[in-house]
Structure 1
Amino acid sequence: MSDVVLIEKVDTEAELDRLARHYKSAGGAGVKLLNRLGGTAESLLDQLPEPVREGLTEATEQALWIAMRAAQGSRRAVADQSPWVNTAVATAMGAAGGIGGVTSALVELPATTAMLLRSIQGAAVREGFDPEEENVKFDSIRVLSAAGPLSEDDGADLDFLSARLTLAGPTMQRMIAAIAPRFSVVLGQKLAAQSVPVLGALAGGGTNFIYTRYYQQIAQVHFGLRRLAIDADIPHDELVRKLSHRMVN
């Protein structure tokens, strides 16, 4: 019996190490690249026109609703693709959206958000979860509340993994309303990077490449922890604490 427990512990620790590597590499070189394209995360938001900044949360809610419907509908027509295919498609979308600056980037926003959700759902599928189940739909949206690829957070911001959103009845409407303010900041940084003069399509493609890669990696961590909690019979919150410890050491 003791041998069995030891083997399980080694497997659990190895899986946590793997997930920690995913989290640490999620932002990676993207932060440096986008900083070169348009400045720091904070200064990027200041570059947006005031009407765009003021309407960003509402635009984000609308983009999330459109993305949810599009992601669910597209799953019936197109099977899940490998992460590199999702990244390539999103990059092309960003390039197209970046051609016309902020105006075309706003039009492209729901399509890119849908692509991000598809990528997140693909990570759920790879961990054995059904994206049609309500709890997986909620978790897919929850992944979008992560800090974002421009956060430069040292990997220690894992609050979204264990946060218990205070929702009076966990409807998707309340979930999206709770997530939208934070995700709108991330999307605002993306829009601003796409509006950088001269770079246009290059900036748009670059931001979407980085964003898609980031959320795919974060989704792998999120659903990987859920799978590990089931397989190892360890409480999810305990696994989050163990992962957090790896991120700050």
Structure 2
Amino acid sequence: MVDVLDGELSDEELAELREAKRILEHTGIADRLTELVGAPITASLKMLPGVAENAIYAAIEKSLGIALDVALRTLGDDTVKTGKPRLLTHKLLAGLSGAAGGALGGATIAAELPVSTVLILRSVADIARSEGEDLSSVEARLACLQVFALDPGDSDQIEDDTEIGYFAVRAAMAKQIRDASQYVIKHGLSDRAAPPLVKLVSQIGNRFGVVVSEKIAAQAIPVIGALGGALINSYFIDHYQDLARAHFTIRRLERTHGEALVREAYGTLEKG
């Protein structure tokens, strides 16, 4: 932890924090997709046939499992330590993946979602590095995975007791991240079915599943097609890039000023 310099945030830092709060507390993926397709996205996995619902949950679990492997095995080894994050590259690749999904229909979700999820994770990691995160740390790599749980979303669709609000989500996940970090440091990734890792992935999946259901609902609109699928996936990754930028901005400010001061300042700001 960097020593506190002056005990308060500068005007520039407050502006950064205000923008982070606007993203983290207000800008959900459903609003973005509604703008794109011109109709409200009010999706729920429970509205799908049982077989489809099970297939999507399996795809979500598989995607986050692969993302966990990538986060813990490779993110800390990337030689690109500085410079601007490669956001456009990841967005273009996600668009290509979404074009295939849009052209072939929702049945491709099992193949397309893991690809999109890993692309998003690598983009998130680039943003984390650009904000000063040390990705040799297991905790920092899991903080990248945590971004998948940060969509402000619709609380009525989240099937657990997780509180709504950025710091509430972080607090609710703190024990799972701590336990998973300690397990990996001690045992490595020899057993991905270990309870600390399963609990972490499950908690992230509860919130990520809401976003995925909204994405699938948009892609299911008959006129979407390949071009629409590419746009939806671009919105999908762009959304998580924004969440990551806000999340890691706050973590940077916390390293400089301490968590308590940043959280207090966050609470006093309007969402904008």
Q: By how many angstroms is 1:186 displaced?
A: 1.0
State yes or no: 1:198 paired with 2:215.
no
Q: Please name the residue that 1:227 is paired with.
A: 252
Which piece of structure 1 moves more, 49-58 or 89-98? 49-58
Q: By how many angstroms is 1:48 displaced?
A: 4.1
- Residues 135 and 49 (structure 1), Cα distance of their counterparts in 2 relative to 1, 3 Å cut: same
Q: By how many angstroms is 1:248 displaced?
A: 4.3
In the superposition, the TM-score normalised over structure 2's length comes to 0.73
Q: Please name the residue that 2:66 is paired with.
A: 66
- Say if 1:95 and 1:201, in contact at 8 Å, map to a contact too: yes
Gaps of at least 5 residues in structure 2 are 156-163, 181-195
Which piece of structure 1 moves more, 78-87 or 104-113? 78-87
Mapping 1:1-249, distance limit 5 Å: 5=6, 9-11=8-10, 13-24=11-22, 31-32=30-31, 34-35=33-34, 37=37, 39-43=39-43, 45=45, 48-70=48-70, 72-73=73-74, 79=80, 81-147=85-151, 151=154, 157-158=165-166, 159-167=168-176, 169-170=179-180, 171-232=196-257, 234=258, 236-248=259-271
Counterpart-to-counterpart distance in 2, 1:247 and 1:208: 30
Gaps of at least 5 residues in structure 1 are none
Identity of aligned residues (%): 24
- Residues 125 and 22 (structure 1), Cα distance of their counterparts in 2 relative to 1, 3 Å cut: same
Q: By how many angstroms is 1:139 displaced?
A: 0.8
- Say if 2:56 and 2:109, in contact at 8 Å, map to a contact too: no
- Say if 1:88 and 1:209, in contact at 8 Å, map to a contact too: yes
1:163 aligned counterpart, secondary structure:
helix
- Say if 1:67 and 1:113, in contact at 8 Å, map to a contact too: yes
Paired residue total: 237
Q: Deviations over 1:171-212 (max 9, x none)?
A: 433211221111111112112211211312223212211121
1:42 aligned counterpart, secondary structure:
coil
Which piece of structure 1 moves more, 168-177 or 206-215? 168-177
Q: By how many angstroms is 1:100 displaced?
A: 0.7
1:106 aligned counterpart, secondary structure:
helix
Q: By how many angstroms is 1:214 displaced?
A: 1.4
Counterpart-to-counterpart distance in 2, 1:30 and 1:176: 21
Counterpart-to-counterpart distance in 2, 1:185 and 1:191: 10
Q: By how many angstroms is 1:88 displaced?
A: 2.0
Counterpart-to-counterpart distance in 1, 2:123 and 2:29: 18
Counterpart-to-counterpart distance in 1, 2:229 and 2:61: 21
Counterpart-to-counterpart distance in 1, 2:148 and 2:58: 16
Counterpart-to-counterpart distance in 2, 1:29 and 1:138: 22
Counterpart-to-counterpart distance in 1, 2:222 and 2:247: 36
Q: By how many angstroms is 1:108 displaced?
A: 0.4
Counterpart-to-counterpart distance in 2, 1:94 and 1:61: 19
- Residues 237 and 48 (structure 1), Cα distance of their counterparts in 2 relative to 1, 3 Å cut: farther
Counterpart-to-counterpart distance in 2, 1:198 and 1:75: 41
RMSD (CA atoms): 3.2
